[in-house]
């Protein structure tokens, strides 16, 4: 989103200004070009020299510092920028933005902007909740800009409250999500997605599972949220951070997964079964740890788990149902049969025996099958890029 973009980072004068250094560095690491503008009070918390070293760019603090007259700094910066960030945004700079005040370098650059802006407020909770501050933030939103809300946490005053600046990575993630959502095609749609490999207990210590990492399902949840959908992720893994902007429900077994999916089916517009469901479970889970046998053998009695995708296919009414098929041989034969047998609207098939495809990798290559179209092979690519392609196809299908 922000990679290889020109970004103006405006830093205003609050204690949280120290986080702006990490945020600028984070932008540089994703290959953005960053130019910093600081208010006079911001320079009391962090030096322009620090920001210049971190960004390898000059820092603007004074409109009249350049005596050559070759350019008008605030206009030149506004014309150069692809995006503006105000991190942190004090009550003072928020008021200036909302009311078009331009009385210093930072506010003048902001007044001249004509590209998207993300504002991240940080201040004492009492200041943040003041009606005037909230009114100004609402005006910024009405003007079409993005506000990354502060979080609850320990404030500079020594007590907890809402007003703390989110961590730099969270600001970046929330900003990316908000920019995508402005053009999302799934607003007011509810998407339910499953992810990860289910776990079936043998005893209190051991379990049956599979190699699914959950990365594809998590990427789909992120891509659906970017499209503006109300997304619920039912996850069988705890090894990945919960996606931002998504409601995540953690489960373990196939039975728990089934209960959650069917509970949400009636209100869903689309259901995506990306989870790798264990085919079998113990007929009876041992209450205590099973011990080694004198015979040197241990026999487990397994019973088949319910076919959740097939059951969803039978129960769906107007929901768009997407299934996954991870195979190691005869991919297209199995996938075509699965699409029809499970009554799915789309099937995403991949050959997990190939390098860089499927379980555990950050890349994937799949074939998309639908009832009315020829199979479409998508190239090897990152899972998030692939997820965005899949979500675009789903949005077209459910929007008619």
Q: Is 230 annotated as ligand-binding? A: no
Cα–Cα nearest to 163, from 243, 92, 246, 90? 90
| Token code pair at residue 103 | 């009385």
Kindly give, in sequence order, each residue whose CB lies less than 8 Å from that of residue 387, ignoring residues fewer than 6 positions away: 216, 219, 220, 222, 223
Q: Is 84 annotated as ligand-binding? A: no
Q: Is 309 annotated as ligand-binding? A: yes
Q: Is 35 annotated as ligand-binding? A: no
Angle at 328 between CA 325 and CA 331, to 5 degrees: 55
385-389, long-range: CB < 8 A, 24+ apart: 386/216, 386/219, 387/216, 387/219, 387/220, 387/222, 387/223, 388/223, 388/226
Q: Is 289 annotated as ligand-binding? A: yes
Cα–Cα distance for residue pair 190/271, rounded to 1 Å? 9
Q: In 10 A of CB 25, how many CB atoms?
A: 14
Q: Which residue shows structure tokens 């991190």?
A: 87
Q: Is 279 annotated as ligand-binding? A: yes
Angle between helices 215-226 and 383-399 (to 10 degrees): 50
Q: Strands of 190-195's sheet, edge to edge?
A: 247-250, 230-235, 190-195, 270-273, 320-327, 346-351, 367-370, 376-377
Q: Is 308 annotated as ligand-binding? A: yes
Told to judge if 337 belongs to the known catalytic residues of this protein, a careful annotator would answer no
Query: H/E element holding 38?
Result: strand 33-38
Q: Is 338 annotated as ligand-binding? A: yes
Angstrom distances, CA of residue 372 to CA of 64, 348, 368, 380:
65, 15, 12, 24
Kindly give, in sequence order, each residue whose CB lies less than 8 Å from that of residue 263, ignoring residues fewer than 6 positions away: none
B/e letters for 115-148, b = 16+ CB within 10 Å, e = fewer, are ebbbbbbbbbbebbeeeebeebbeebeeeebbbb
Q: Is 72 annotated as ligand-binding? A: no
Angle between helices 48-55 and 17-29 (to 10 degrees): 10
Cα–Cα distance for residue pair 268/247, rounded to 1 Å? 14
Cα–Cα nearest to 27, from 3, 46, 60, 50? 3
Quick check: 85 and 118 in contact, CB under 8 A?
Answer: yes
Identified catalytic residue from 92, 210, 288, 399: 210
Q: What residues are annotated to the active site?
A: 210
Provide the annotated binding site for CTP: 279, 289, 306-309, 324, 338, 342
Provide the annotated binding site: 279, 289, 306-309, 324, 338, 342
């Amino acid at each position: 989103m922000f990679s290889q973009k020109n970004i103006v980072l405006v830093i205003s004068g609050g204690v949280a200004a120290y986080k702006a250094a990490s945020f600028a560095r984070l932008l540089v690491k994703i290959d953005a070009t960053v130019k910093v503008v600081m208010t006079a009070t911001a320079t009391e918390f962090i030096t322009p020299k620090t920001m210049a070293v971190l960004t390898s760019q000059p820092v603007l603090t004074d409109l009249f510092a350049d005596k050559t007259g070759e350019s008008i700094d605030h206009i030149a910066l506004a014309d150069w920028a692809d995006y503006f960030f105000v991190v942190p945004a004090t009550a003072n700079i928020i008021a200036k933005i909302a009311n078009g005040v331009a009385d210093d370098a930072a506010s003048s650059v902001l007044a001249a902007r004509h590209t998207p802006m993300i504002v991240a407020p940080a201040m004492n909770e009492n200041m943040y909740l003041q009606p005037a501050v909230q009114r100004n933030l609402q005006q910024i939103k009405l003007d079409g800009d993005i506000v990354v809300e502060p979080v609850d946490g320990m404030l500079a005053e020594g007590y907890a409250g809402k007003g703390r600046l989110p961590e730099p990575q969270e600001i970046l993630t929330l900003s990316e999500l908000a920019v995508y959502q402005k053009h999302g095609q799934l607003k007011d749609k509810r998407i339910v997605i499953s992810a990860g490999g289910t776990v079936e207990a043998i005893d209190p210590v051991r379990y049956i599972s599979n190699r699914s990492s959950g990365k594809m399902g998590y990427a789909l949840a992120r891509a659906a949220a970017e499209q503006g959908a109300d997304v619920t992720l039912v996850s069988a893994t705890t090894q990945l951070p919960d996606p931002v902007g998504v409601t995540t429900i953690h489960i373990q077994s196939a039975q728990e997964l089934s209960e959650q999916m069917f509970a949400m089916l009636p209100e869903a517009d689309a259901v995506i079964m990306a989870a790798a469901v264990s085919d079998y479970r113990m007929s009876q889970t041992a209450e205590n740890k099973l011990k080694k046998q004198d015979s040197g053998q241990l026999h487990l009695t397994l019973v088949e788990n319910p076919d959740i995708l097939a059951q969803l296919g039978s129960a769906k009414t107007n929901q768009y149902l997407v299934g996954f098929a991870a195979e190691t041989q005869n991919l297209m034969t199995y996938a075509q049969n699965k699409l029809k047998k499970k009554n799915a609207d789309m099937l995403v098939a991949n050959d997990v025996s190939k390098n860089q495809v499927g379980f555990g990798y950050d890349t994937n290559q799949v074939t998309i099958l639908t009832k009315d179209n020829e199979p479409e092979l998508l190239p090897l690519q990152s899972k998030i890029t692939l997820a965005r392609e899949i979500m675009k196809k789903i949005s077209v299908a459910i929007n008619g």
